[in-house]
Every structure is written in structure tokens, then in C-alpha cells.
Amino acid sequence: MARRSVLLMVAVLIALVGTALIVVYVQGIDARAAEGQELVEVLVATEALEAGESVSAAQESGKFDAKDVRREDVVDGALSSTSAISDLVATGPIYPGEQLIAKKFGTLGDTDSLVIPDDKMAISIELTDFERVAGFVNPGNDVAIFATATSPVLISPNGDEQKRGDWTRIVLPRVPVVGVGTTSVTSRTTETDEGEQVTEEVPRTILTIAVTQAEAEKLIHSDRTTDLTFALLTDDSASRDEPGVGLAGVMPDLGRAQP
């Protein structure tokens, strides 16, 4: 009789332990399910973004919206605000409904393709480091372009040649840089004051800029007939289309008689 009582108590104890384990297991499932259903706010695209489109412009156009999604559906690295990418652009297309993640944004140089404004065309110019601000010009920068002509000869309507002397002037006051190509090295030979010829290796880089047709015509002709120099601009830089300067403007005393 005592033995039956012991066995019965053991059976009851095992049943209680088993029940407790089942309850704990079910509670764990419920907790995991509840965690998966927890809602998290993320930013999603409401309209398509093209490669090169800036975050600030897209935000002003209402292309982003906050949306609550289940935690288990949140993409790794999803953003809840644009503060970390406010100065960047989309490096590739972003589609409606897509969650915004930081790795899909960068500078213009990181874009998958060349970004050209709708009303412009892209042309490329090969320049040395000196002519392109020692390599500080990058995609997204604005530049002014100057041309220097050495003893240019103009043909008048009646066919006469007119020598204009040396001069430098601005060709394009402000144009955007959309690409920077690979750098190659070329040899350049110069002559010193003592008459010795010196050969040096000069790095040359292809810069691509976005221009209108009229600007392209001016730039292409200038590239074929003059020496070009790019000047890096800021938002506040002043650059204007002016007549330029010749040697007399640089050295006004050059033609005066010496005492």
C-alpha cells in the first residue's frame, strides 16, 4: 500500500513537472511570436529615386515616408531618419516601398552610372593636376573654366589676319563636375632660363562636366585652341563672364619707356 502511494506521488510529481515544462515552452513560443510582431518605424521610399538624386531633393519632393513594420521584416541597416545621409545621393535606383538603408547612398563618385541633368550633356576634358586644382576636384563640385591663348590670330570678315596677343579669360563661369576618370602619366619637356631642356612626368586626369550645347561648343573650341584651367568653386564663390586680361593687364608698366 505504501509502495502504491509512493508511485502515485512520483507520477503526480512527474505530471506536474511535465505540465510546467509545457507551460514554459508555450510561453517561450508566445514571447518569440510577440517579439516578431513588435512594430518598428522605418523610412521607406514612396516614389522611385534615380541614381544621383540627392536625399535633400527627394525629401523635399515627399519621396520618403515613415512606416511601421514588424521587427522581423526590418531590413538590416534600415534607417528611421535621414540625418545620417542628408548630404548624400542615391548610388543606384531605389524603388517605391523599399526601406532606406545607408549603404545605398553615397557621393556622386559612388554612383553606378554617370549622372547627367536632363537638360544637359556630358563632355570630358583631360587636364594635368595643376589645371584641375591639384586633384581636389571631385564629382559634385562646381568649377569655373578659364582659357589662355598665346598670340591668337583672328580672321576678319575680309580675310585679313589680326593678332590679338596673349590673353586669359573665363570661358564658363560655373559648371558641375559629374565624373573623374582614371589618371595617366605623360612626359612634358620645358626649357629653363639657362636654355636647358627638362623633361618631367606629369599626371593627367579626365574630368567630365555637364554642359548645355552652347557651353559645349565654347569648351570644345577652347580645348582645341587654348590652354584650359579649372577653378574649384564653393556655393559662395563669385565667377563672372568678363573680358579677361592680357599681358598689358598683368604687367601695365611693360610698354612704358624706362628712365
The model's pLDDT over 201-234, given as tens digits with 9 standing for 90+, comes to 656 788 889 999 999 999 999 998 888 999 999 9
Task: Please give the CATH number for the structural domain made up of 39-110.
Answer: 3.90.1210.10
Instruction: List per-block mean pLDDT (blocks of 10 residues) for the chain, which spans 259 residues.
Output: 62 67 63 65 90 86 91 89 88 88 81 76 84 79 90 63 75 90 58 67 78 94 89 91 79 56
DSSP secondary structure letters along 4-63: HHHHHHHHHHHHHHHHHHHHHHHHHHHHHHHHHH-EEEEEEESS-B-TT-BHHHHHHTT-
What local confidence, expressed as pLDDT, does residue 233 receive? 93
Domain with CATH 3.90.1210.10 in the chain: 39-110
Average pLDDT value for the chain: 79
